[in-house]
Amino acid sequence: MRVHHLNCGSMLAVEPVGAHGLAPLPVVCHCLLIETETSGLVLVETGFGLADTASPAARLGEDFLGWARPRLDPAETALRQVTRLGHRPEDVRHIFLTHLHRDHTGGLPDFPDALVHVHEDELAAVSGTPHPHWAHGPRWSPYATDGDERWHGFTGVRPLPGLPADILAVPLAGHTPGHTALAVRGDAGWLLHAGDAYYFHGELRQDAPAAPPLLDTLQEQTEADRDLRLTGVTRLGALAADPASGVRVVSAHDPWEFRALAQEDPADPGA
């Protein structure tokens, strides 16, 4: 399966603390577009959508616009990038969301016919909470992660209805109660999209520069269960550090991770 890396929402620029040689970069919304043989296109995360770029205050909230300072360029939406890659929007038959925060759900209305895979705890947490991102009535496909299937030390892992066996939901709670990562075995091997389990790749390594302070503060303000999240980060760090695992770990907002992956595929519109 071919996996494209799309940035569907640049935000304010950040910079790690200390000597690191990393230039400041705008925070991204790192989405994946997976080309499957049997299930059409699978979009992992949706970033900001076209309507967000037209009516940002009504759809994202003034507070969010104030601190996140999203660029809201229509050309960055998943809708426009899918088209630029030569596909039709309706070719996106499945969407996977790690959780339901607004910087992940904005593109939902741009793909109204897609089946939206989301953890049942995430969906339960917003039931009865209207939001413009799901006012159109998405085709939710809630799932549980209470089985005993294992994958690289994670438990409760499961395939998703209608998707190939090489696409797996991987429980990674903490940022939110039902936060879930997505593993996909693409042409380049296994990739684990860890969503907002961490914001900066240095969190996975002991010897790394410290995270941009703003991202640290943001994680503290938004995470539901810090201890649980950090347990997940420790496991992700061990996985990423083990060359025998063959698994590459990425997150939703780290711009340096995104740039490295996007540049490996010059055909990607995010490169």
* Interface residue list for Zn ion (CB under 5 A): 103, 196
**Nearest distance in Å: CB 245, Zn ion:** 25
Nearer to Zn ion, 103 or 268 (CB): 103
Contact 194, 139 (CB under 8 A): no
| Order of all β-strands in the sheet with 247-250 | 158-159, 167-171, 180-186, 189-193, 247-250
What letter represents residue 97's amino acid? L
Nearer to Zn ion, 45 or 268 (CB): 45
- Distance in Å, CB of 255 to Zn ion, minimum: 13
Residue placing its CB nearer to Zn ion in the complex, 36 or 193 = 193
The DSSP secondary-structure symbol of 171 reads E
Structure tokens at 157: 């892992």
Shortest Å distance, C-beta 40 to Zn ion: 25
CB of 173 to Zn ion, least distance (A): 15
Instruction: Output 106 or 109, the one with its CB closest to Zn ion.
Output: 106
Distance CA 61, CA 78 (A): 21
What's 129-186 look like in SS3? CCCHHHCCCCEEEEECCCCCCEECCEECCEECCCCCCCEEEEECCCCCCCCEEEEEEE
* Shortest CB 73 distance to Zn ion, Å: 18
As a whole number of angstroms, the distance between CA 248 and CA 99 comes to 20
Between 100 and 163, name the residue whose CB sits nearer to Zn ion: 100
Which of 40, 104 has the CB closer to Zn ion?
104
Query: CB of 74: closest distance to Zn ion in angstroms?
Result: 20
Give the per-residue SS3 of 246-270.
CEEEECCCCHHHHHHHHHHCCCCCC
Q: Which residue has the tokens 């499961």?
A: 158
